Amino acid sequence: MSTAQNLQSPVLINDAVRLERDAMVGWVVLTRPGQINAINDEIRQGVPQALAMLHKDPDIRVIVIRGEGERGFCAGADIKERRGPSAHGKRSLDRNPGRHHQTSDRRHSWLLHGRWAGIGAGV
């Protein structure tokens, strides 16, 4: 079974990220509407995993990142999430979604769907 066939049904990456596929469009969905999809560790880990899965699918031409809920796409960092001092300011290339695009010989169109604040490149 090909990757494209596997992605026809929604794929739950974790509790905060879901992957969907509609023809040549891959959707990465943030699933924390109660927190306006504020970025927590699950989103930081789940978005790159979802992007990597979509990158492997040769049929995907466009990737859209959207948030569930009516209040907005993403509120930015989840300020209620406690982080230890060693995690503050630490950034991994694996958390940078652009990494998958920049190191690839394939090109995708990227789109963020909805209102957002403070997302920067830290998803």
pLDDT of residue 13: 97
pLDDT of residue 49: 95
Show pLDDT as tens, one digit a residue, over the chain (123 residues). Answer: 445 444 478 999 999 999 999 999 999 999 999 999 999 999 999 999 999 999 999 999 999 999 999 988 888 888 888 766 554 444 444 444 444 444 455 665 555 555 555 545 444
For residue 42, list its beta bridge partners.
Answer: none
Residue 95 lies in a domain: yes
Residue 71 lies in a domain: yes
Q: pTM for this structure?
A: 0.68
Q: Which of 115, 106, 41, 101 is nearest to 71 (CA)?
A: 115
pLDDT of residue 20: 95
Residue 49 lies in a domain: yes
**Residues whose CB is less than 8 angstroms from the CB of residue 80 and which lie 6 or more positions away in sequence, other chains included:** 35, 38
What's the total number of domains in the chain? 1
Residue 123 lies in a domain: no
Which residue bears the tokens 């999809």? 37
Residue 56 lies in a domain: yes
Residue 79 domain boundaries: 3-113
pLDDT of residue 82: 72
pLDDT of residue 76: 85
Residue 120 lies in a domain: no
Alpha-carbon distance of 38 to 99, in angstroms, equals 22
Residue 44 lies in a domain: yes
Residue 50 lies in a domain: yes
Q: Are 60 and 54 in contact (CB under 8 A)?
A: yes
Give the domain CATH number at 53. Answer: 3.90.226.10
